């Protein structure tokens, strides 16, 4: 049977079978992605490092098929999502960063990239085989912002009450920042 997510197979075969892959993985299952998250978290004091960051879920589904009724042009559609631990570049606190990517991929090797239009992204393949796990990993890496930050200024810099079972930490700059915010 093998592992549909991990096995490298011809794209044409995946498309003919209409292969659907449900993704229920963890960040730690993707070496490059985990490496990026890990180097980002390395900026944190060890006592702030989220435990179990490798266990964050990676979910989604991939659907292989054809763009056209004549089954000439194989395509991949789907979506992938993950919530990873990251360091806010504004307040330098850890937070949960949501990554999400919608996939509508048309292989460049099909020679029909003109067909792609706005509906599909052209997909550069080294040859006519694909490893679905690589696509999942690549699209999550692409979904990462250049500078990860808290979504809202309110959460940014404030102590996360959900995590406050740890011993209180003195954070003079956060206090100063909230005073500045109140003043103007």
Distance in Å, CB of 99 to Zn ion, minimum = 17
Q: Are strands 94-107 and 121-123 parallel, antiparallel or unpaired?
A: parallel
Q: Which of residues 133-152 bind Zn ion (CB under 5 A)?
A: 150
Distance in Å, CB of 98 to Zn ion, minimum = 14
Q: Which of residues 49-88 bind Zn ion (CB under 5 A)?
A: 88
Choose the binding region for Zn ion from 37-45, 91-99, 130-138, 163-171 (rule: CB under 5 A). Answer: 91-99
Nearer to Zn ion, 69 or 147 (CB): 147
**Which residues, 6+ apart, have CB-to-CB distance to 61 below 8 Å?**
20, 21, 22, 23, 78, 79
Distances (CA, A) of 26 to 33, 85, 164: 10, 12, 25
The secondary structure of residue 38, as a DSSP letter, is: H
Distance in Å, CB of 47 to Zn ion, minimum = 18
Q: Given the rule CB under 5 A, which residues bind Zn ion? A: 88, 90-91, 150, 156
């Amino acid at each position: 049977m093998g592992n549909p997510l991990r096995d490298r197979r011809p794209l044409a075969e995946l498309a003919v079978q209409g292969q659907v892959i449900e993704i229920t993985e963890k960040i730690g299952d993707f070496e490059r992605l985990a490496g990026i998250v890990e180097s980002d978290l390395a900026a944190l004091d060890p006592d702030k490092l989220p435990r179990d960051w490798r266990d964050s879920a990676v979910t989604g589904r991939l659907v292989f098929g054809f763009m056209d009724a004549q089954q000439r042009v194989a395509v991949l559609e789907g979506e992938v999502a993950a919530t990873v631990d990251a360091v806010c570049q504004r307040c330098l606190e850890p937070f949960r960063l949501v990554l999400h990517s919608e996939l509508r991929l048309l292989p460049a090797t099909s020679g029909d990239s003109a067909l792609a239009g706005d509906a599909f992204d052209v997909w550069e393949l080294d040859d006519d085989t694909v490893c679905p796990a690589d696509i999942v990993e690549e699209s999550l890496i692409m979904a990462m912002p250049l500078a990860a930050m808290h979504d809202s200024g309110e959460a940014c810099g404030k102590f996360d009450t959900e995590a406050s079972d740890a011993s209180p930490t003195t954070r003079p700059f956060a206090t100063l920042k909230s005073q500045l915010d109140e003043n103007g």
